[in-house]
Amino acid sequence: MLIIGNQKDYLPRFEDVMSVANTVAKLRTKHEVVLAPSHVHLSLLRSKKKALPLAAQDVSVFEHGAHTGEISATTLRDSGVSYVIIGHSERRSQGEDSHVIATKLSQVLRANLSAVLCIGESSRDAHGGYLSLLREQITSALSGVSEKEFRSIVIAYEPVWAIGKSSDEAIDREQLEETMLYIRKIIKEELGEKAYKSIRILYGGSVAPENIEGLLLEDLDGFLVGRGSTSPSTFKELIQAV
């Protein structure tokens, strides 16, 4: 399984990022555990922990060049990053639309990195209207992706209503099972068999040691963990429970 720790801007002190990284490095696990600290901590972490896979939390829409304050996909690659999170709801709420997200995704693929595309509804309605939103989020970002690039795509299903809550407010197993089936169906219908077989799907939203076992589904490829990845002991417990 793929477990990505999205540390957001929770850990301003590098020593706290290092504590989590040291704990992860000592774990014997068959899972791929990836850390996504803030941009400024990425290359520092790379210099201290050569073998730990890293993800960036965002990327520029531009190629490198005269873009003050931006960080391009090629710069991220040079910092030792393998994955880039795109379209997180906390970025969408800052105004990132589907065009921006599709552009970022193509920058990531062009730099030969893997993209973690976040999708998810803000709320659920009784008639299942949120399902069309998921379809739209998937197709608008991925319809331009070529067949050979599908293996570099990971979709993180993160219902916005379940992010940053307590463990008992996360999605329940039945809801996750249903939504996973639906997401796989959209991928098959809209992007074809190759995409269906290659694209990995993660769940994110208040994943904690207390609820992770209940969320382990056969066709789920892993988790995107926010707050739970900011404490060494919690992250360790969580990984060991998978």
225 part of the interface to ligand PGA, by CB under 6 A: yes
Q: Which stretch binds ligand PGA (CB under 6 A): 63-71, 94-102, 189-197, 220-228?
A: 220-228
Secondary structure letter of residue 226 according to DSSP: S
Using the rule CB under 6 A, is 128 a contact of ligand PGA? no
Q: Which of 38, 57, 79, 206 binds ligand PGA (CB under 6 A)?
A: 206
Instruction: Fill in the amino acid letter for 56.
Output: A
Residue nearest to ligand PGA (CB): 226
Q: How does DSSP assign 3-69, residue by residue?
A: EEEE-TTS--SHHHHHHHHHHHHH---SSEEEEE--HHHHHHHHHH-TTS-EEES---SSPSSS-TT
Alpha-carbon gap, residue 108 to 95, rounded angstroms: 20
Which of 33, 207 has the CB closer to ligand PGA?
207
Query: Count of residues binding ligand PGA (CB under 6 A)?
Result: 13
Measured over the CA atoms of residue 176, residue 167, residue 226 and residue 4, the dihedral's sign is negative
Binding mask 159-198 for ligand PGA (x = CB under 6 A): ----xx----------------------------------
Extract the tokens encoding 111.
Answer: 């730099």
Residue 35 is a binding residue for ligand PGA (CB under 6 A):
no
Among the listed residues 87, 120, 204, 222, the single contact to ligand PGA using CB under 6 A: 204
Residues in the chain: 242
Position 33: which residue type? V
Task: Mark the segment that binds ligand PGA (CB under 6 A) among 25-33, 52-60, 71-79, 204-212.
Answer: 204-212
Q: Which residues are catalytic?
A: 88, 158
Q: How many of the other CB atoms lie within 10 Å of CB of 2?
A: 20
In this structure, is the dihedral angle defined by the CA atoms of residues 170, 20, 12 and 7, taken in order, positive or negative? negative
Least separation, in Å, of the C-beta of 4 and ligand PGA?
8
Shortest separation between residue 168's beta carbon and ligand PGA, angstroms: 13
Per CB under 6 A, residues contacting ligand PGA are: 6, 158, 163-164, 204-207, 224-228
